[in-house]
A and B are shown apart, each in its own frame.
Chain A
Amino acid sequence: MVLVYITTQHGIAKSALETVSYARKLNEQVVVITCGSASANELEILGKYGAKSILVNRTIDGEDSQQLARLISSFALSLKAETVMFSHDFIGKGVAPRVSVRLKAGLVSGAISLPETDGSIKINVFSGKAIAFVKVNSPVRIISLLPNSVAPEITGVNCAVEEITGDFGAAAIKVLSTKKPEGDIALPEAELVVSAGRGMKGPENWGMIEGLAKALGAATACSRPVADIGWRPHHEHVGQTGVAIRPNLYIAIGISGAIQHLAGVNGSKVIVVVNTDKEAPFFKAADYGVIGDAFDVIPRLTEAVLKFNAENN
């Protein structure tokens, strides 16, 4: 069976549905384990994506990797899980390695597709410049799934939610506060991303970037220098030393396309580049290109998107 840990204390993210759907393709016996206060109504829909049952611990807050690792490992052992799954997000990155040690089970982090016939699993390496096939040598394997790598699929119906208890120790870390920008779409999960670079000249010009993003329902991102000079927040910085993303659509505006930037975005399914310089290296990595001044092109593109939205609703 497959045991899937999902984070529910910040809401059920699309990546959670993806992870459950992936697990269902590995094995029909999928049990989801979570903690926190999400209601049974919120949780039972995971059954539609392939969960046979859901185990929820109400006493752990889900923020401490040490406590979570004890919880997940103990159920992995008692349920005799062959595979334990996580989403490769901020919680998965903290907990999956700990569970790997506890269970002496090999960890494939950031899986981007289902296992090959030889059991190896594809991951991005060299910041997206290459792909590796990783094989797990232990009887139990751990997989953390890169967000946006598989589509969530409805295959079943709501399932039962069962409360679980046990002693998993005290939490070693205490969350004092959480700042979550209202209404923003989380970048690592976003299907559509509008990104801009130094070509935008200054932070005062980001209104049109946000306008286009809003019209598309996209998240916003930026190149490294833009975050470094403080035009945009650090968490928007994509690339080799920022967030690596693989949205369906990445629109790059006024970004030259340096190798370090491309490394973090070249997993995107479709890339659109808007740049005044026809020699900009980004055009070589693009599917669609527009040579032009962002200050002229972006308002027109936004208008075209709004018109499209109006016609298609």
Chain B
Amino acid sequence: MKILVCISKSPDTTSKISFIQDNKVFDENGVQFIVNPYDEWYALVRALELKETLGGQVSIITVGTANDDAIMRKALAIGADEAIRIDAEPKDAYFTACQIANFAKEGSFDLILTGKETINYNGSQVGGMLSEILDLPFVSLASRLEVNGNTVSVEREIAGGIQVIEANLPLVISCSKGMAEQRIPNMRGIMAARTKPLQVISPISTDDLTSYVLFNTPSSKAAVKMIDASNMDELVQLLHNEAKVI
């Protein structure tokens, strides 16, 4: 079983989000980067579990600069066998998907896993784009994944419910909560990660389909209106007359 897991970096969940250069660029100053939680907790850990039961190899890939080697080492410490970094600042999801597809098309992977989205750009785009470029089936938002021979059984979230789906390998799956439990790397993993292969590959050129022209942070709320716990009729009236939400 050859599994490729797509890894993105994202700012630590407690990071202060601000922008520089006339609000055109995310301010990375003082920001701690982590492996995007969906990629790490669900996609990577499930890939490792499958490898542990079925045998095979787990490769991880990211599109990013040398600054991202740290998060790739972290993912290697959790248990991935080898890492690939496409050496470029990711411009948008299409650029990222083209780079990963270009690598994956030669790799004869049985399974390609992504997180359901990144917690910084929240686009949910890379997995779908990748599968189209590679002409593979795609199951989005999977919360469970079992492999039986050449077929997979996947559960995916639909509006307020769950679908059970069957498909054949190879395919692309985007992973969400429920698929696996977070693993904390141990000392042995961290030591082993130092010598695992991290291959750096030059990017290919692609069309620029989208650009992020400006960022804004939401304006802060007006002060909260406190209502006495004994006066819930007043709250209901405010929600009806003032906020007009009921």
Q: Evaluate contact between B141 and A93: CB separation under 8 angstroms.
A: yes
Interface range on chain A: under 10, 10 to 19, 20 to 34, or 35 or more?
A: 35 or more
Is B186 interfacial (CB-CB < 8 Å)?
no
Complex alpha-carbon distance, A176 and B151, angstroms: 13
* Main SS class of interface, B: mixed
In the complex, identify which listed stretch (B59-67, B72-80, B235-243) lies at the interface while the others stay far away.
B235-243
Residues of A within 8 A of B3 (CB): none
CB distance from B49 to the nearest CB of A (A): 18
Q: Evaluate contact between B232 and A101: CB separation under 8 angstroms.
A: no
Q: With A126-B17, A130-B17, A135-B213 in contact, is A100–B119 under 8 Å at CB? A: no
Complex alpha-carbon distance, A305 and B164, angstroms: 38
- Of all chain B residues, the one with the shortest Cβ separation from A140 is B209
Complex alpha-carbon distance, A301 and B227, angstroms: 12
Q: Evaluate contact between A100 and B120: CB separation under 8 angstroms.
A: no
Q: Which residue of A105, A131, A172, A174 contacts B215 across the interface (Cβ within 8 Å)?
A: A131
Q: Evaluate contact between B171 and A100: CB separation under 8 angstroms.
A: no
CB distance from A82 to the nearest CB of B (A): 15
Q: Evaluate contact between A184 and B137: CB separation under 8 angstroms.
A: no
Residues of A within 8 A of B168 (CB): 172
Residues of A within 8 A of B97 (CB): 97, 101
Q: With A125-B215, A138-B207, A240-B13 in contact, is A187–B160 under 8 Å at CB? A: yes
Complex alpha-carbon distance, A284 and B226, angstroms: 11
Residues of A within 8 A of B126 (CB): 97
A-B contact pairs, 27 of them (CB 8 A): A64-B137, A93-B116, A93-B141, A96-B125, A100-B209, A101-B133, A106-B94, A106-B209, A107-B94, A127-B119, A127-B120, A130-B17, A133-B215, A135-B211, A137-B208, A179-B161, A179-B164, A235-B157, A235-B161, A240-B119, A241-B13, A272-B239, A283-B224, A287-B243, A289-B225, A293-B229, A308-B236
Ranked nearest first, the 7 interchain pairs of A and B with the lowest CB-CB distance are: A97-B128, A292-B229, A186-B160, A180-B161, A172-B137, A106-B209, A186-B159
Which residues does A use to contact B, with CB under 8 Å? 10, 13, 63-66, 69, 88-90, 93-98, 100-102, 104-110, 118, 120, 123-138, 172-181, 184-189, 191-192, 216, 219, 227, 234-235, 237, 240-242, 244, 248-249, 259-260, 263, 266, 269-270, 272-273, 283-293, 296-297, 300-301, 303-305, 307-308, 312
Which residues does B use to contact A, with CB under 8 Å? 11, 13-14, 17, 19, 37-38, 41, 92-94, 97, 116, 119-129, 131-133, 135-141, 143, 153, 156-168, 171, 174, 177-178, 207-218, 221-222, 224-230, 232-233, 235-240, 243, 245-246
